[in-house]
Structure formats: structure tokens, C-alpha cells
Structure 1
């Protein structure tokens, strides 16, 4: 049975690896001008890992961005 210190180290290593993955996806998102922050990317990745269709998720994200832009324009008017 692993010691408490080993378990803690494993959790820290997993957290560091997860941050690295999010950082890589954020870089890709930035290069593609997707305008997604790290938190949004993390949520999207979790949804996909839990079975959400990536294409459907992309459509929803695009639609939400369009709606948000419309609201911004209305508020500025």
C-alpha cells in the first residue's frame, strides 16, 4: 500500500500534468483564435471526456459566443 507521501506526490504529479494539458490546449486555442480561456477549455475537455459529442459542443460554444456578442452590442446601443 502506498504511503501518504507517495499518494500526495501522485496527486501533485497528476495536477501538474492536467495543468500542462490545459496550457497546451490554450496555446492551440489562441493560435486558432478560438478565444477560449483556460477555465472554459477545462470544462469543454471534461464534457468531451464524459461523452459529449465534440462537434455538438463546438456548435453550442459558437452559438453562445454569437449570442453574447449580440447582447454586448445591444448593451452598447
Structure 2
């Protein structure tokens, strides 16, 4: 049991360090997302392919947000 909690503590520390690096580099990844990405990479996902997918998803999300914003009634959208 002590070995397991030690591994969990080490994993948490690794995520904390990677999150700090991510923040310094302005990657805009929260701890949960970063943890999922780490897990995917540990399970064999190509890191460059994963980064490309994350960028594409962000771009699509921005486009959807822009479409939603343009449909809202407001001072400039009447």
C-alpha cells in the first residue's frame, strides 16, 4: 500500500511540474487535460499527432464560439 501511494505521489508531482512548464509556455492546458495527454502518450499515442489534434480542436472551438457570438443579439448584431 505504501508503494502504491508513493507512486501516486510521484505521478502527481510529475503532473504538477509538467503543468508549471505548460503554464510558462502558455499551452493553456489544465491539470486534467494535461494528465489525459500524458496518459495517452504513455499508452503509445504519437505526441506530435496529439499536439496537432489539440490545436485543431482549439481552432474549431474558437470558430464555433465566434459563430455563436455572431448570432447573439447585441449592440453590433441587430
TM-score calculated relative to the size of structure 2? 0.85
Q: Which residue of 1 aligns with 2:25?
A: 32
Q: Which residue of 2 aligns with 1:64?
A: 57
Q: Where do 5+ consecutive residues of structure 2 fail to align?
A: 71-78
Q: Which residue of 2 aligns with 1:17?
A: 10
1:55 is paired with a residue whose SS is: helix
Q: Where do 5+ consecutive residues of structure 1 fail to align?
A: 1-7
RMSD (Å), alpha carbons = 0.8
Structure 1 residue ranges, 4+ long, deviating more than 2 angstroms after superposition = none
Residue 75 of structure 1 and its aligned partner are, at CA, apart by 1.5
Q: How many residues of Structure 1 are paired with residues of Structure 2 in the alignment? A: 70
Counterpart pick for 1:74 among 54, 67, 72: 67
1:28 is paired with a residue whose SS is: helix
Q: Which has the higher helix share?
A: 1
Residue 76 of structure 1 and its aligned partner are, at CA, apart by 1.4
